[in-house]
Every structure is written in structure tokens, then in C-alpha cells.
Amino acid sequence: METKILLLSAAMILTSCSGQKDVNTTPKIPETVPVKVAKAEEKSYSRSLELSGTAFADREANLGSALPGRVEKIYYPEGSHVRKGDLLVSMSGELYTQTLVEFKTIEKDFERVSRLNDKGSVTPQEYDHVKALYEASRSKVEMMRKNAEIVAPFSGTIVEYLVNEGENYFFNINLDPGYSSTSGILRLMKLDPVTVETEINEKDISLVRKGQNAIVIFDAISDTPFTGKITYIKPALSALTHTATIKIAISNPGEIIKPGMYGHVKIQLDPGKLVFVPLNAIYRQPGTSEDYLFKVEGNIVKKLRTERLATDNAFVAVSGITPGEKVVVYGKEKLSDGTLVELK
């Protein structure tokens, strides 16, 4: 009886082991994720750069004297338009008068020595010495005359006096941010045209060039767009912001654009071809600002890092993909690199 029980137990164990072996060796069918895809398309696209900028005078200068002194006479009030060469300010003339008297004395000595030199009555060394004194005195007179009279170096508008009539001028420094900080008695600006300065990101520098058109709308004159041209692109970038300064010249015949005005700049770029995918093909990595695409190769997806280049309604131009390739637009949440998919 015991022998039969042992044989029966052994048979059951063998049967159990055989069944277990069959379960473990059955191949598993990989799980597929149903997705919907779209094809990337190449399209012509004319994009623009939108920047912010500030208006500045086309030319400005703080005019003053090379020597300290009293402002004797101001000939034009603030806001006056003056022409190149106009006398703007007269300084006290005591030093100029003293220098002129000294020059007249040396001039007489030089004339006398010149006559003696013609007769051979003085040595060449004596003549050269007096001539040098005469020329130095004449230059000094010219310098003092220039410092006694401040004239306009270019045509423009007097926007501000830094020293008033009757006050002494002592190389006062203007600290108004954004404008010339050099010493001066008055500030002269050329306001037609004006220049709008803005900063452009390093990745966009290759897209702009001199002569390119730009449209500027100022907050203070929001109903009037102004068209200008890029006249300058700074050849070096800021090490802090990694941007370059560009300048846009805008005609300002009525001088309604004032220095310091804030403006919105739009630069229309040359048309080109970009690869577009539906906007919902973009997958944003949770907790980051990184964008990805899931490209379908056969029935497997490949996760690609991408960059948004431009947006056109429900489509977005992206990097890292070529026209005709398929990207997942629905079902992205369940995907990872290498996932098997079923196209729906």
C-alpha cells in the first residue's frame, strides 16, 4: 500500500513540473501602443523678428570749453534749431584778451627781428627763437578764441543747457543714462533722422543684414508705424547677454519721434523653407523646457530632441527631422524611446 502511495506522489510531482515548464517557455507577445501619426512637410515660410528698442538722436554732442570759465552769453534758447557754424555761447574773455595782448607784443618783436634778419644783422639762431615764440603765441590765441566761442559742429537742435548764463563752467559731467556723459555746457542733437537701437540674439545675427527694412511702432505714437533700414550691426557680442546691438535709421522730418521713446521693432526676414509638423506632435518633457518628437520608423518610435523655429497657426517648424518622416500626434504620453506602436 505504501509503495502505491509513493508512486502516485511521484507521478503528480512529475506532472506538476512538466506543466510549469510549459508555462515558462511560452513566448510573450510585446505590447504595442496605438498611436496616430502625421507626416512632416516642408513649406515656404517668411518669418520676422520681433524686438524692442529705444530711439536715440542720429548724432549728439555735449559742447563745452577746454578751459573753465564763466558763461557770458547764450544766444539761443532750448529747443532752437541751429546750423553748423552758428555761435551758440560766448565765454568770459579775460584770458583771451590777455593772450591777445601778449601776442601783439611778440608779433612786433618778430616783425623787427625779421627785418634785421633780411639785413643779416641777427644770427639764424636768434631769428628761429623769436619765430618759434611768435608761432606758439599765435596758436595760443587761436586756442583761446575757440574756447571763448562755442559754435555748432553740426546742424541740430539744442535740447538742454547744462550750465546757465552767468554761471561758471568747471567740466561738469552729465550723468543722464543712455546719453553722452562727457563734460559740456549744452547738449546738441540731430533729430532727423533718428536711430533706434535694439539687441538681437546671437542665433539670429546671421538672418539680418545692413539695408534690411524694419518697421517700428512707438508706444507714444502707437497709431503710426515707421519704416526704417538697418544701418549698423555691432561686430562683437556682449559677453553677458550674448546679443549684438543693431541700429535702425528712421526719417523724422517733423521730429515727432523723441530720443528715449520705447518702440516695438519688427524685421521681416528673407523667405526660406522650413519643416513643419502639427503643433500637438511636440512633447514637452515634464518639469523642463525641453521639447521632443516621437518619430516612427517601421513600428518602433525614436525619441528626438527638437527646437521650435517658427509657428504657423496649428503647425510648428522644428529641427532634427526631414520632410516625409512620420511623427506621433496622439498617444505620446505612453511612449518612450524604442516603444512598439500600432498606427491608427
291, pLDDT greater than 90:
yes
Cross-strand bridge partners of residue 305: 292
20, pLDDT greater than 60:
no
Of the listed ranges 64-73, 172-181, 251-260, the one predicted with least confidence: 172-181
- Quickly tell me which residue has 546757465 as its cell: 164
1, pLDDT greater than 60:
no
pLDDT at position 262: 96
Contact criterion met (CB below 8 Å) for 293 and 310: no
Rg over alpha carbons for the chain, rounded to the nearest Å, is 41
Contact criterion met (CB below 8 Å) for 187 and 105: no
Stretch 105-134: mean pLDDT, rounded? Answer: 88
Q: Are strands 243-250 and 225-233 parallel, antiparallel or unpaired?
A: antiparallel
pLDDT at position 177: 58
166, pLDDT greater than 70:
yes
Stretch 271-290: mean pLDDT, rounded? Answer: 89
161, pLDDT greater than 60:
yes
**Domains, in order of start, for the chain:** 33-45+273-343 (2.40.420.20), 50-57+191-268 (2.40.30.170), 92-147 (1.10.287)
pLDDT tens for 183-210 read 788 999 999 999 999 999 998 898 899 9
Looking at per-residue pLDDT, the higher value among 210 and 141 belongs to 210
pLDDT at position 174: 59
Q: Is 125 helix (H, G, I), strand (E, B) or coil?
A: helix
95, pLDDT greater than 90:
no
Looking at per-residue pLDDT, the higher value among 217 and 124 belongs to 217
Stretch 126-137: mean pLDDT, rounded? Answer: 89
Grid cell of 201 as nine digits? 540674439
pLDDT at position 74: 94
Q: Is 12 helix (H, G, I), strand (E, B) or coil?
A: helix
Region of residue 56 (phi > 0: left; psi between -120 and 50: alpha; otherwise: beta) = beta
280, pLDDT greater than 80:
yes
Query: Residue 98 contacts by C-beta under 8 Å, 6 or more apart in sequence?
Result: none
83, pLDDT greater than 80:
yes
pLDDT at position 57: 95
What mean pLDDT, rounded, does the chain reach?
86
- Rounded Cα distance between 73 and 95, Å, is 16
pLDDT at position 88: 95
pLDDT at position 196: 97
pLDDT tier at 5, thresholds 50, 70, 90: very low
pLDDT at position 121: 84
**Could you tell me the pTM of the whole model?**
0.62
Stretch 78-87: mean pLDDT, rounded? Answer: 95
Query: Residue 125 contacts by C-beta under 8 Å, 6 or more apart in sequence?
Result: none
Looking at per-residue pLDDT, the higher value among 97 and 167 belongs to 167
Q: Is 137 helix (H, G, I), strand (E, B) or coil?
A: helix
